[in-house]
Amino acid sequence: MHQEPVGEATYQQAVVDVLGALAYAELAGSLQLAADARDAPALDVRLTVARIGAQAWDSYTLIESRLVELGSEPEQAMAPFAAAIDGFHERSRPRDLLEVLVKAYVGDGIARDFYREVSRRVDPQTRELMERVLADHGQDDVLAATIGDALDHRADRAGRLALWGRRLVGEALAQTQRVAVERDALAALLVGAWEVPGAEADLVELGRMLTRLTEAHTVRMRRIGLSA
C-alpha cells in the first residue's frame, strides 16, 4: 500500500517530535546522572558523573531554545515522550556505581546513535543543532577509562555487567520502538517518507535501523571488555 505524500504541517510536527523527544531524553538523563553523582562515594567519580550530567543539561537548554524559536511550547513538545523515557529509567535503576557508569556509557551511546540516524533525515538547520548536541565532548573516553580501571580491580563483575548492558540495550530499543510507533509523524520521518515521497512506508527500514544500533552497541561493549 502506498502512503500519501506528507504535507509541510506534518513535517513540522515530526521535527517538533524529534526535538521534544531529544529534549526530554537530555533532561531526564541529566537529572538521573546528577542523582547518581550525589550518591557516588568518591569525590573524583562524583565529579566525573556530575560533569556528564551537566553536559546533558546544556544540551537540554539548547534544544529548549530551538523549540521556542519554532513557536513550540517545550513542555508540550516533550510530554508525549515522558512516559517512555521515564519508563526506561525506572526499568534500569543502577544498583551501584559500576552500573551507573556502564549505563551512562551504553545508554548515552545508543541514544546518540539513534538521534544521529534521525538527524540525517531532517532539514540542515535542525541537523546542525542536533549534531552540536550529539557531539562527543570526550565523555566516551572518560567513561570507558573509568570503567576499565574499575573492572581491573573487579574482574568478577564482568559477567553481571555484561547482563546489565544487555538489559540496557533491550530497554532502550523497546522504548524507542514504542515512541516511533505511537507518533505517526515521527514514524514517517524514521522510515524516510520525506526523503522518497510516496515511498512504501513500512517498518522494514525501522528494523534495519535497530539492527545498526545493536551492532554499534556490540562494538561499544567490546571496547570496555564486556560481551554484548
Q: Which stretch binds a second copy (CB under 8 A): 13-21, 78-86, 103-111, 144-152?
A: 78-86
Minimum separation from the CB atom of position 35 to a second copy (A): 4
How far is it, in rounded angstroms, from Cα 9 to Cα 47?
44
Q: Is 27 in the site for a second copy (CB under 8 A)?
A: yes
* Of 60 and 194, CB closest to a second copy: 60
- Is 54 exposed, middle or buried (CB count within 10 Å of its CB: 0-12, 13-18, 19+)? middle
Q: Which of residues 80-139 bind a second copy (CB under 8 A)?
A: 82
What phi and psi, each to the nearest 5 degrees, are found at residue 96? -155, 180
Minimum separation from the CB atom of position 81 to a second copy (A): 11
Exposed e or buried b for every residue in 9-43, given b needs 16+ CB within 10 A? Answer: ebbebbbbbbbbbbbbbbbbbbebbbebbeebeee
From the CA atom positions of the chain, what is the Rg in Å? Answer: 18
**CB within 8 A of 100, min separation 6: which ones?**
36, 40, 49, 94
Q: Is 50 in the site for a second copy (CB under 8 A)?
A: yes
Q: Is 20 in the site for a second copy (CB under 8 A)?
A: no
* Of 34 and 210, CB closest to a second copy: 34
Q: If you search the block for the grid coordinates 525506572, which residue do you land on?
A: 90
Q: Which stretch binds a second copy (CB under 8 A): 4-12, 50-58, 189-197, 199-207?
A: 50-58
Q: Is 37 in the site for a second copy (CB under 8 A)?
A: yes
* Of 53 and 161, CB closest to a second copy: 53
Q: What does the binding site for a second copy look like in residue numbers (CB under 8 A)?
A: 27-28, 30-32, 34-35, 37-38, 43-44, 46-47, 50, 53-54, 57, 61, 75, 78-79, 82
